[in-house]
Amino acid sequence: MNLNNYPFHPWKIIDKGWNPENVEASESIFSIGNGAMGQRANFEEDYSGKTFQGSYIGGVYYPDKTRVGWWKNGYPEYFAKVLNAPNWIGIHIKIEGEQLDLHHAKEVLHYERVLDMESGLYERSFTATLQNGIGVRVHSKRFLSLAQSALGVIDYRIETDRDATLEIIPYLDAGITNQDSNWEDQFWEIDRIGATQKTAYIEAHTLKTEFSVGTFMEVRLLENDDTIDFTSSVKKTEKKVGLEISHQLTAGKELSIHKLGGYLSSRNYPKENLESEANALLLALKNESFSSLYNAQKEKWSSIWKSADITIDGDVKAQQAIRFNIFQLNQTYTGEDAGLNIGPKGFTGEKYGGSTYWDTEAYCIPFYMATKNQAVARNLLTYRYLQLDRAIENAEKLGFTKGAALYPMVTMNGEECHNEWEITFEEIHRNSAIAFAIFNYTRYTGDTSYIPEMGMEVLVGIARFWAQRASFSAAKKQYVILGVTGPNEYENNVNNNWYTNYSARWCMEYAAEQMNRLYNEFPADAARIQQKIDLQDAEMEQWKKTAAQMYLPKDDALKIVLQQDGFLDKTLEHVSSLDPAERPINQHWSWDRILRSPYIKQADVLQGMYFFEDHFSNEELERNYAFYEPFTVHESSLSPCVHAILASKLGKEEQAYAFYLRTARLDLDDYNAEVEEGLHITSMAGTWMSIVEGFAGMRIKGEQLSFAPRLPKAWEKLQFKINFRDAIYTLELTQDTLVCSVDQSEETTLFVHDTAYTLRDKVEIAL
């Protein structure tokens, strides 16, 4: 639980005042990452109070054996864990024989953390009195380099109020575990451990997955900013290595310990070269100082912000929040490594194992499509294409045949890997989001080559799955889909979840339509695919038939679709009738009570209406929104953003703004009372959508961009940039004007509130 109220600031997150109860929450908030690795904001010096240690390397995981009470055939064998990796930030410090540890300090007089999102720098400072009466002041700065993805840099400054002997041990520690281990397994085995006077190195490999990781560090000392020489003695145990340094610190002088450290892994380098690569990296950095490395960091962030920043005039809390979301997304995934994806908690915690979920396709793709170049979103789609064989194996394990593909709900390498059946495993709807993302990407980028080159095979695998998974109901004389969990995880094993059935129907139609397009426009690809996967016309006819006869539950009296069969049998009391003390219900109610209740964890029917907005009239959207939103508890981070977009479209300004704050400040204000577990990274892309698709009302109309701005009242101006089909569009919106400029010379059309305008360089439109 986060007890903090971070002051509003356009670029910074600030945590002032010492509160030991808040350490874990703020370790999440102040997490840093560079796409290749990331870490919670753990202290460098010892801390014996409550803390959640975490440092993670993208793509390095452990298959922790699934733990369930009753093993059912079809269960995934393991739950992939993002691994807590060796600690390279640690520095033990003794001052006149007393360990520096805020938990045992006599008094903490000043304490502050600052995250500067503009430059990717995390700082912490404190002043404390130790039990031995010595006053100590510490100021540390840390960043994970975007320029050198293996590298992190620390400048740890310390002053005492009297002359004191310091015993300093900067160290590497591979004796780490995961809090969420199923069987208390050790995940790492040490291969090598060594040190010189100024450097140390530990090589370890993960059990079962055999990733080798070299953790390295180099230590430099400076006094009042002048480099000083030092000698150290190596302290080595089985899993830990440190350099013990003794230093006489004079009052009024400042000792600065610089630590350069990080990881190289066998995902990127041959195993046998890890140590030499680490040495080569440190050698190459020989003449770099903390400030020169930090300058490079600033430049990298400045170029990210150039294309991704959103500015909001007139509402600093909204401004701070959107930047926090954009910042965290860029810390998690930079798009440079096609083997990586976006874990729901990124590098900020263990929950969700750092694995890939449907979140990427349903929520993250639009952000990456618009704020980076097209190749980044294509990489995310390719990630699934490369895992198609595994998706087919996943489906085979469940009894499906003939190339039917069931993408995993949770995965590291394409295999399904989760602990639970009803939640996640039964959420076969994830297949539709993967197909939808292909459609969404093609619609947005205009890249017509992805489908013939890769996407078509994925679409076919998914259509085959739905055609086999749907069964014909003799009673209904329609196809039904039984025994599923929809996006709303507070209902399990339901029949005919509308979202699942509707999106399955769309997948089969879309796959058939795209295959036909390929026959006409890309005959060579069509022939190659047809042969490779043995696709016959009769099979596609079956998809179309199943789609045409798909059962979609609805209620004619209320004129709404039904979330699933039997939804109206529930006691239909709105969320507003709940006792606030019992919220979030997932922390207060039995699972039995949740399942019987009408309460909806996250957009379910409305998720479908968001994806397929054009298929519904405004009246249909309005009626379904009015019916389902009041039952929605928004206990998934993915919920408020979709509601913000729909509320905006429906002209419900106040609700849209409330949902915006809830999605944007979900972690900063800890709406779901769980921020200490880590941040909700994937929903942060939803926050971006709630501004761009919500308040700015951006859509793609045919081949053109279209906007329908509805700014919150307090917003004087909203500005953002998007990359649309390789041109950069800059949007400036006020309450009554829209200015759009584009960095291409060709003339194009822009729709604003459905009116077409010609855009050449710049256009200003009165709203």
**Binding residues for ligand BGC, total number by CB under 6 A:** 12
How far, in Å, CA of 429 to CA of 481, rounded? 11
Over the window 696 to 715, marking each residue x when it contacts ligand BGC by CB under 6 A and - when it does not, the resulting string is --------------------
* Residue closest to 638 by CA, chosen among 587, 690, 697: 690
Find the binder of ligand BGC among 148, 371, 387, 636 (CB under 6 A): 636
The interface region with ligand BGC, picked from 171-179, 227-235, 356-364, 476-484 by CB under 6 A, is 356-364
Give residue 530's Cα distance to chain centre: 36
CB of 341 to ligand BGC, least distance (A): 12
Tell me which of 101, 159, 447, 489 binds ligand BGC, using CB under 6 A.
489
Q: Check if the beta carbon of residue 44 is closer than 8 Å to that of residue 53.
A: no
Query: Per rule CB under 6 A, is residue 682 in the interface with ligand BGC?
Result: yes
Instruction: Please tell me whether residue 359 binds ligand BGC under the rule CB under 6 A.
Output: yes
Listed residue (673, 747, 644, 734) closest to 322, CA to CA:
644
Q: Which helix (H) or strand (E) holds 31?
A: none
Shortest spacing between CB 425 and ligand BGC, in angstroms: 12
Question: Burial, 184: exposed, middle or buried (Cβ in 10 Å; 0-12, 13-18, 19+)?
Answer: exposed
Positions 600 through 619 that interact with ligand BGC (CB under 6 A): 601-602
Q: Residue 344, interface with ligand BGC (CB under 6 A)?
A: yes
| Candidate list 45, 489, 491, 629, residue with the active-site label | 489
Q: Which amino acid is at 441?
A: Y
- Whichever of 38 and 135 has its CB closer to ligand BGC, that residue is 38
- Nearest alpha carbon to residue 82 among 445, 479, 350: 350
Q: Which range binds ligand BGC by CB under 6 A, 81-89, 235-243, 273-281, 357-365? A: 357-365
Q: 10 Å Cβ neighbour count for 367?
A: 26
Instruction: Give me the least distance between CB of 465 and ligand BGC, in Å please.
Output: 19
Report the residue number, 487 or 598, with the smaller CB distance to ligand BGC. Answer: 487
Tokens of 648: 């905006």
Name the residue among 691, 652, 643, 684 with its Cα closest to residue 665: 684
Contacts of 309 (CB under 8 A, 6+ apart): 323, 326, 720, 721
| Shortest distance in whole angstroms from residue 602 CB to ligand BGC | 6
For 260, the 3-state DSSP assignment is strand
User: What is the layout of strands, in order, in the sheet containing 704-707?
Assistant: 699-701, 704-707, 748-752, 755-759
Q: Which region among 351-359, 447-455, 585-593, 751-759 touches ligand BGC (by CB under 6 A)?
A: 351-359
Q: Binding of ligand BGC at residue 352 (CB under 6 A)?
A: yes
Q: Does 365 engage in binding with ligand BGC (CB under 6 A)?
A: no
Let me know if 642 is exposed, middle or buried by CB neighbors in 10 A (0-12, 13-18, 19+).
buried
Return the structure tokens found at 20.
């030991």
Tell me the three state secondary structure of residue 9.
coil
**Beta-bridge mates of residue 129:** 107, 135
CB-based contacts of 283: which residues, under 8 Å, 6+ apart?
Answer: none
Binding of ligand BGC by 646 (CB under 6 A):
no
List 126, 171, 357, 567, residue binding ligand BGC (CB under 6 A): 357
Which window, 188-196, 354-362, 668-676, 732-740, contacts ligand BGC (CB under 6 A)?
354-362
Residue from the set 455, 461, 487, 553 that interacts with ligand BGC by CB under 6 A: 487
Kindly state whether residue 500 participates in binding ligand BGC, applying the rule CB under 6 A: no
- Give the shortest CB-635-to-ligand BGC separation in angstroms: 8
State yes or no: is 677 an active-site residue.
no
Q: Which parts of this chain interact with ligand BGC (CB under 6 A)?
A: 344, 352, 357-359, 487, 489, 601-602, 636, 638, 682
Could you list the active site residues?
489
